[in-house]
Amino acid sequence: MTKVDIIIVGAGAAGLICAKELSEAGNKVMVIEASERIGGRIYTIVDNHFTLPVELGAEFIHGDLPLTKQLLKEAGIDFYKIKGAIWRSQSGVFVEEDDFFEDVDQVIKQLKKLDTDLNIADFLAQYFSGDGHAKIRKTLTGFVEGYDAADTKKASSFALLQELLGEDDNQYRIKGGYTKLVDHLADTGRKAGCCFKLQTVVTEVRWHKGHVEAIDQTGVSYTAKKIIVTVPLGVLQAAKESPGHINFSPAISDVQKAIDSLGYGIVIKLILQFEEPLWNYAKDIQSKKKKKEPGFLFSDAVIPTWWTQLPEKNAMITGWIAGPQAARLQNEPDEKLIRLGLESLSVIFNLSRETLQSKLIGSYIFNWSKNEFAKGAYSYETVQSKNAKRIIMEPTEKTIYFAGEAYHEGPERGTVEAALRNGMETACKIIKK
Ligand SMILES: Cc1cc2nc3c(=O)[nH]c(=O)nc-3n(C[C@H](O)[C@H](O)[C@H](O)COP(=O)(O)OP(=O)(O)OC[C@H]3O[C@@H](n4cnc5c(N)ncnc54)[C@H](O)[C@@H]3O)c2cc1C
């Protein structure tokens, strides 16, 4: 039986920063990770068929985020600002837009008037009903479903306001991929004495005050004074018999109830490498409109959202399916999703599917709802979230702690920054920093 001071379950951003901070503070720490790799929902692949590293999970730094930037600086990792215009395809014609969400000021104005929180579907029904508001309803629903991967019948209006007010146009990518940040956190943790156990699924946590026993899938047990659970919300919300599920003995029913009330969305990501940028083939569209090259492309196609790698000029393009549309397609095989991707691009660029297929060099599909140790993509705020997060973040008998992107309070929710900050908050509770 292995004995340490603190067991951390999960080696994603939250688990890794906890491991680094707690090991550096002199604790004997063990990270137990179900998968054969570290990083969790940060998953970078280097493939020679692709011009740049392929990000199957997190890709952008959404704004000037303090902790992410501090860590990158500390590690000497370069990052660069993304560029490119926003193109919206409307009935086969591209329109260049200034913002992801053009009527945002009207929405913010109404959101600011709310006294009590309500879900987005009800907010739209109350304040933007009627034919005159059809465009706002469509755009806001698209934003909440597509960007937050959320269900409008559950997502919080208060959180939406916070998100819209906190929006930062500066977005960045990490040179060499997000995995560089993961490697930095793991390396500093290791140097401070932290040990990692991969391919080890925690199935049960037996505990009493000041003592925990984490049991893995083979029945081996690991003992500590405290445990930090950083597994994704989707895993904690899943049914008892599903892989990754952790049974707490005795049960922590109030925490589980709070966990169940949080929102968790799904995403399917599709990365395609062509011989040449598609907008080069679509000559008629280019010459008619004289546009800046596209950073983001929005459309009504089955796979509606796409982005390029600008300012890096290459022929990689990423498709994004989130929220209810991802739920509808989540059980489709990868081949069908690639076919739908090519059909969508064929509509968007007015090119035949055969032409696109002949120029395709490589493809990756990652369906996060099918990943048994994620069971989805990232969290969103429901009307119940505020109270629920308070319950989850209160350590149980100073023995069981939680950390992860889902428990962060603030407009960065659902991001790597959220996971890092929440992990740091939990570590600081233990170190009493
Ligand atoms: C498709 C996609 C795109 C995204 N894009 C961005 C983006 O551009 N920018 C951004 O900032 N964020 C983005 N995110 C969100 C970001 O990736 C996450 O918020 C963040 O990485 C979560 O970190 P975490 O430590 O909370 O959880 P995770 O990274 O999920 O770590 C939890 C770990 O727990 C492990 N685990 C699960 N069950 C068990 C078990 N029973 N026993 C042991 N280990 C277990 C998992 O394998 C995993 O490694 C994206 C996410 C997805 C899925």
At 212 the pLDDT is 98
**Would the pLDDT of 99 be above 90?**
no
Rounded to an integer, the average pLDDT of 320-342 is 95
Alpha helix (H) ranges present in 44-133?
Answer: 66-75, 104-112, 120-127
What is the position in ligand 1's atom list of the atom closest to the CA of 417? 11
- The set of protein residues with a Cβ atom below 6 angstroms from ligand 1 is 9-15, 32-35, 40-42, 57-60, 62, 201-202, 230-232, 235, 244, 246, 267, 269, 368, 373-374, 377-378, 404-405, 414-419
Q: Rounded to whole angstroms, how far apart are CA atoms 160 and 152?
A: 11
Q: What is the pTM of this model?
A: 0.95
**What is the percent of the chain with per-residue pLDDT over 90, rounded to a whole number?**
79
At 351 the pLDDT is 86
pLDDT in tens, 415-428: 999 999 999 999 99
Pocket test for ligand 1, best of 7, 17, 33, 41 (most atoms within 8 A of CB): 41
Q: Rounded to whole angstroms, how far apart are CA atoms 318 and 339?
A: 14
At 373 the pLDDT is 97
Residue of 381, 386, 160, 137 lying closest to 265 (CA atoms): 381
What is the position in ligand 1's atom list of the atom closest to the CA of 412? 11
Least confident stretch, 102-106, 267-271, 388-392: 102-106
How far is ligand 1, taken at its centre, from the CA of residue 232, in Å? Answer: 6
**Would the pLDDT of 102 be above 80?**
no
Nearest protein CA to atom 1 of ligand 1, as residue: 57
Pocket test for ligand 1, best of 200, 202, 231 (most atoms within 8 A of CB): 231
At 335 the pLDDT is 94
Q: Which residues contact 12 (CB under 8 A, 6 or more apart)?
A: 38, 39, 40, 41, 42, 230, 232, 404, 419
At 383 the pLDDT is 96
Provide the token pair at 193: 């004495």
CA atoms within 13 A on the CB side of 93: 4
Q: Which residues contact 97 (CB under 8 A, 6 or more apart)?
A: 86, 87, 88
What letter would DSSP give residue 377?
S
At 1 the pLDDT is 65
**Would the pLDDT of 125 be above 50?**
yes
Rounded to an integer, the average pLDDT of 104-110 is 92
User: Domain locations in the chain?
Assistant: 2-40+177-261+385-431, 44-84+170-175+265-367, 101-164
Pocket test for ligand 1, best of 38, 416, 422 (most atoms within 8 A of CB): 416
How far is ligand 1, taken at its centre, from the CA of residue 254, in Å? Answer: 24
How far is ligand 1, taken at its centre, from the CA of residue 407, in Å? Answer: 13
| CATH of 2-40+177-261+385-431 given 3.40.50.300, 2.130.10.10, 3.50.50.60, 2.30.42.10 | 3.50.50.60
Q: Rounded to whole angstroms, how far apart are CA atoms 392 and 255?
A: 5
How far is ligand 1, taken at its centre, from the CA of residue 329, in Å? Answer: 21
What is the position in ligand 1's atom list of the atom closest to the CA of 56? 1
Q: What is the mean pLDDT of the chain?
A: 93
**What is the percent of the chain with per-residue pLDDT over 70, rounded to a whole number?**
96
Nearest protein CA to atom 31 of ligand 1, as residue: 12
pLDDT in tens, 48-98: 999 999 999 999 999 989 999 999 999 999 999 998 888 888 766 777 777
How far is ligand 1, taken at its centre, from the CA of residue 358, in Å? Answer: 35
How far is ligand 1, taken at its centre, from the CA of residue 360, in Å? Answer: 29
Nearest protein CA to atom 19 of ligand 1, as residue: 415
Q: Rounded to whole angstroms, how far apart are CA atoms 338 and 302?
A: 11
| CATH of 44-84+170-175+265-367 given 3.90.660.10, 3.40.640.10, 3.30.70.1350, 3.40.50.720 | 3.90.660.10
Rounded to an integer, the average pLDDT of 173-189 is 97
CA atoms within 13 A on the CB side of 295: 17
Rounded to an integer, the average pLDDT of 238-242 is 88
Q: Which residues contact 168 (CB under 8 A, 6 or more apart)?
A: 62, 63, 64
Find residue 95's DSSP bridge partners: 88
How far is ligand 1, taken at its centre, from the CA of residue 122, in Å? Answer: 30
pLDDT in tens, 251-310: 999 999 999 999 999 999 999 999 988 877 665 555 445 567 888 998 889 999 999 998
Q: Rounded to whole angstroms, how far apart are CA atoms 119 and 384?
A: 10
Q: Rounded to whole angstroms, how far apart are CA atoms 373 and 201?
A: 9
**Would the pLDDT of 101 be above 80?**
no
At 87 the pLDDT is 85
Q: Rounded to whole angstroms, how far apart are CA atoms 217 and 347?
A: 47
At 287 the pLDDT is 45
At 169 the pLDDT is 79
Q: Rounded to whole angstroms, how far apart are CA atoms 100 and 88?
A: 9
How far is ligand 1, taken at its centre, from the CA of residue 153, in Å? Answer: 24
Q: Which residues contact 310 (CB under 8 A, 6 or more apart)?
A: 82, 83, 84, 293, 294, 295
Rounded to an integer, the average pLDDT of 11-27 is 98
pLDDT band at 183 (very low <50, low <70, confident <90, very high): very high
